[in-house]
């Protein structure tokens, strides 16, 4: 057995480097568009509109680096200023995360060198920032070790007070600079609080230093989660001196940093019940996705009948993508979460099943059984054939060759064995009504496909659908295998066991990260598979409302493709990461 170490194939390392450069390019384009170009054409420009643009830019910059923001106890922060916010400072991404998450006009207390920079200085001034003299930043003393005079210090405090009078949120980093470990705090925040009578609002920033360590270039940003933890206020008008307040502030932040070292890896608190209840199926949404898939299907067929080979190729690719969309629609309708109406879900499930090459009721019954037994590999119909076993030589040859050559063996067998194999289905479902429903589905769908092939003729059928079916199955090989394959699962064998709850199923499920438009329009958020298993009654097209953090085993789609394709098929299918040490 290999030691469980992260595996980074050469191709994956190259892709990571290219992705880093790509993200940096987008970072600067977003910066320039929102903060340099748009203000030139905004005749109603104001400080508030500029702040909104900065907030929007910060959120998009974080998205391009695949960095998520998570907030804890955000209700501890008032909705309006004036506010004195105090935070630890470990990374350049501290500013971006606060700008993106805090819906208040933030005035940063920052080193004066940033205000001298041509573009950054202008932005800092528009945000109402307060420049400090280097090492004495945020120190309220009347004299400082580097020789800053009392007039300069008074000017800094005056600037902070003026910002507070404008109902801004003054943000102070009491360490005075970025640091890997918490440095001694300066007294400036405490002095400012005493002068204004305002309490201090501590916020602990978890994970920013892991995203971009100090002195590292932007292209080395590591995707991940930054958690902003808002703590209870610290009063400044209770008679304590500034040294005592500063000591209390530091000990409070230090304690949370120590106890919350793994906070970004901990499961998020489940959303309130009223939030879950509000995420109900919508008939207009179901109609939209059904019409969208129908329109794309018609467009793909119209292109595929053209004489031009380029039009035909585009049509086949469009049909292949649309078949994936129909599969996602079948998934939703099978859960009865595409429409509010049970009948509409049933009929659209059959329409989607037709284009997905899966009988609708067969999918519905088998998929319900899958959700019931997820985590028990030998009890789940869709995973029991992948229980580890000694493979024969010809099996290894066929599996590895098909996987290497992109022949969609798994997606094909997944359909045939789980949804078309009536003898196997008959053993799984003992109820006679279920057996009759499954048998009728298989017969009717089979006759329909044969009738269409006969009516069109073999050559026209092959031209219209041949390449599209092959491409969609090849792509679905990766999608289906990404969901539960190569993840450690339990084996029930002959034991009496209980199914895992939806919340417990997260650990057995992998989610992919696709671009938001593709995830929502084509996949109906089916790529957020861990979240779907945790909340199976929430419509897939509403799951992004619950995505406060990445679920366990979340991986970018391209990293999964490269990692999975770098692994022999037999290893990917019949082993798990604890046995191989291959992590994606």
pLDDT score of 3: 43
The verdict on 365 and 480 lying in the same domain is yes
**Burial per residue of 108-141, b for 16 or more beta-carbon CB atoms within 10 angstroms, e otherwise:** bbbbbeebeeeebbebbebbbbbbbbeebbbbbe
3-class DSSP state for residue 110? strand
> How many residues does the structure list for the chain?
584
If DSSP states are collapsed to H, E and C, what string results for 260-290?
CCCHHHCCCCCCCHHHHHHCCCCHHHHHHHH
| Chain position carrying tokens 């109609």 | 287
Domain co-membership, 432 together with 570? yes
- Residue 473 domain flag: yes
Does 18 reside within a domain? no
What's the pLDDT score for residue 382? 94
How far is it, in rounded angstroms, from Cα 126 to Cα 107?
9
Same domain, 464 and 398: yes
403 and 530 part of one domain:
yes
Q: Indicate the angle between helix axes 557-565 and 10-32, nearest 10 degrees.
A: 170
Task: Decide if 172 contacts 85 (C-beta within 8 A).
Answer: yes
According to DSSP, the β-strands at 67-72 and 130-132 are: unpaired
Convert 156-183 to b/e letters by CB count within 10 Å (16 or more is b). bbebbeebbeeebbbbbbbbbebeeebb
Q: Which residues pair with 80 in a beta bridge?
A: none
166 plus 307 within the same structural domain: no
* Averages of pLDDT over each 10 residues, the chain, 584 residues: 51 78 89 86 84 91 85 85 90 91 90 86 87 56 40 78 91 88 90 92 91 85 87 88 91 85 62 80 96 97 95 97 97 96 94 97 96 95 92 93 94 96 95 95 96 94 95 95 93 91 92 91 94 94 80 85 89 87 69
Q: What is the pTM of this model?
A: 0.76
Same domain, residue pair 216 and 286:
no
For the record, the structure tokens of 184 come out as: 């001694």
Q: Which of 262, 291, 318 is the last residue of a domain?
A: 262
Residue showing tokens 């300066």: 186
Q: Given this model, what pLDDT does residue 499 score? A: 95
Q: Do 77 and 207 sit in the same domain of this protein?
A: yes
What is the bridge-based pairing of β-strands 83-87 and 200-206? parallel
For residues 291 and 398, state if they share a domain. yes
Note whether 215 and 337 are same-domain residues: no
Distance, CA of 90 to CA of 207 (rounded, Å): 9
Question: Is residue 254 located within the same domain as residue 286?
Answer: no
User: Domain check: are 210 and 308 in the same one?
Assistant: no
DSSP classification of residue 415: H
Which of 205, 227, 262 terminates a domain? The answer is 262
What kind and span of H or E run contains 422?
Answer: helix 422-428
35: in domain = no
Q: What is the DSSP string of 358-410?
A: S-HHHHHHHHHHHHHHTTBTTTSTTTGGGS--PPPHHHHHHHHHHHHTT--HH
**Predicted local confidence at residue 152, as pLDDT:** 60
Provide the pairing of β-strand 83-87 with 169-172: parallel
DSSP at 234: B
What is the rounded distance in angstroms from the CA atom of residue 584 to the CA atom of residue 567? Answer: 11
**pLDDT the model gives residue 174:** 92
Confirm whether 275 is domain-assigned.
no
Q: Does some domain include residue 86?
A: yes
DSSP string, 27-79: HHHHHHIIIIIGGGG-TT--HHHHHHHHHHHHHHHHHHTTEEEEEESGGGS-S
Q: Give the separation between CA 316 and CA 471, rounded to whole angstroms.
A: 8
Specify the pLDDT at position 567: 87
Question: Could you give the number of structural domains in the chain?
Answer: 2
Q: What is the pLDDT of residues 40-68, one digit of tens each?
A: 888 887 888 889 999 999 998 988 888 88
pLDDT of residue 387: 92
Cα-trace Rg, the chain:
29
405 and 289 in a single domain? The answer is yes
Examine residue 141 and state whether it is found in any structural domain, yes or no.
yes
Q: By the 8 A CB rule, do 376 and 497 touch?
A: yes
Q: Is the Cβ–Cβ distance between 65 and 223 less than 8 Å?
A: yes
Residue 6 within a domain: no
Distance CA 568, CA 404 (A): 8
Could you tell me the residue range of the domain that residue 292 belongs to? 282-580
Res 147: pLDDT: 37
What is residue 394's predicted lDDT score, i.e. its pLDDT? 93
Q: Is residue 13 part of a domain?
A: no
CA dist 339 and 280 (Å) reads 9
């Amino acid at each position: 057995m290999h030691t469980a170490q992260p595996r980074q194939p050469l191709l994956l390392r190259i892709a990571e480097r290219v992705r880093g450069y790509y993200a940096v390019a987008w970072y600067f384009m977003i910066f320039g568009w929102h903060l340099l170009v748009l203000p030139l054409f905004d005749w109603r420009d104001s400080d508030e509109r500029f702040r909104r643009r900065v907030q929007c830019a910060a959120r998009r910059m974080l998205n391009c680096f695949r960095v998520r923001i998570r907030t804890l106890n955000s209700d501890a922060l008032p909705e309006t200023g004036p506010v004195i916010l105090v935070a630890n400072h470990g990374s350049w991404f501290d500013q971006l995360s606060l700008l993106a998450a805090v819906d208040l006009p933030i005035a940063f207390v920052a080193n004066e060198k940033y205000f001298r920079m041509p573009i950054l200085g202008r932005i800092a001034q528009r945000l109402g920032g307060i420049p400090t003299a280097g090492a004495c930043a945020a120190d309220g003393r009347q004299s400082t070790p580097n020789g800053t005079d009392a007039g300069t210090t008074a000017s800094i405090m005056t600037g902070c007070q003026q910002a507070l009078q404008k109902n801004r949120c003054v943000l102070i980093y009491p360490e005075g600079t970025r640091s890997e470990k918490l440095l001694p705090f300066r007294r400036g925040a405490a002095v400012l609080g005493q002068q204004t009578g305002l309490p201090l609002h501590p916020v602990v920033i978890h994970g920013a230093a892991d995203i971009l360590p100090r002195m590292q270039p932007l292209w080395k940003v590591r995707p991940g989660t930054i958690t902003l933890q808002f703590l209870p206020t610290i009063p400044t008008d209770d008679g304590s001196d500034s040294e005592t307040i500063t000591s209390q502030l530091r000990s409070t932040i230090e304690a949370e940093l120590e106890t919350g070292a793994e906070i970004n890896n901990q499961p998020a608190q489940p959303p309130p019940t009223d939030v879950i209840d509000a995420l109900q199926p919508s008939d207009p949404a179901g109609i939209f996705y059904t019409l969208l898939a129908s329109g794309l299907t018609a467009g793909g067929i119209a292109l595929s009948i053209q004489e031009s080979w380029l039009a035909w190729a585009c049509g086949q690719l469009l049909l292949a993508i649309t078949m994936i969309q129909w599969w996602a629609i079948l998934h939703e309708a099978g859960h009865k979460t595409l429409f509010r109406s049970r009948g509409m879900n049933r009929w659209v499930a059959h329409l989607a099943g037709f284009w997905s090459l899966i009988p609708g009721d067969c999918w519905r019954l088998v998929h319900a059984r899958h959700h019931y037994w997820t985590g028990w590999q030998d009890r789940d119909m869709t995973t029991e054939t992948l229980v580890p076993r000694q493979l024969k030589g010809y099996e290894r040859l066929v599996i590895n060759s098909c996987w290497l050559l992109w022949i969609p063996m798994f997606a094909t067998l997944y359909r045939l064995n789980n949804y078309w194999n009536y003898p196997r289905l008959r053993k799984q479902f003992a109820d006679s009504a279920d057996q009759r429903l499954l048998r009728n589905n298989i017969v009717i769908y089979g006759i329909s496909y044969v009738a269409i092939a006969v009516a069109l003729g073999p050559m026209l059928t092959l031209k219209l659908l041949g390449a599209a079916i092959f491409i969609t199955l090849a792509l679905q090989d990766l999608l289906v295998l990404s969901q539960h394959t190569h993840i450690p699962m339990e084996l029930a064998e002959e034991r009496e066991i209980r199914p895992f709850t939806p919340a417990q199923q997260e650990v057995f499920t992998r989610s992919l990260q696709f671009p938001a438009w593709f995830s929502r329009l084509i996949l109906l958020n089916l790529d957020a598979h861990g979240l779907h298993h945790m909340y199976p009654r929430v419509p897939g097209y509403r799951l992004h409302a619950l995505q406060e953090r990445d679920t366990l085993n979340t991986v970018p789609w391209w990293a999964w493709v490269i990692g999975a394709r770098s692994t022999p098929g037999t290893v990917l299918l019949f082993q798990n990461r604890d046995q191989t040490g291959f992590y994606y």
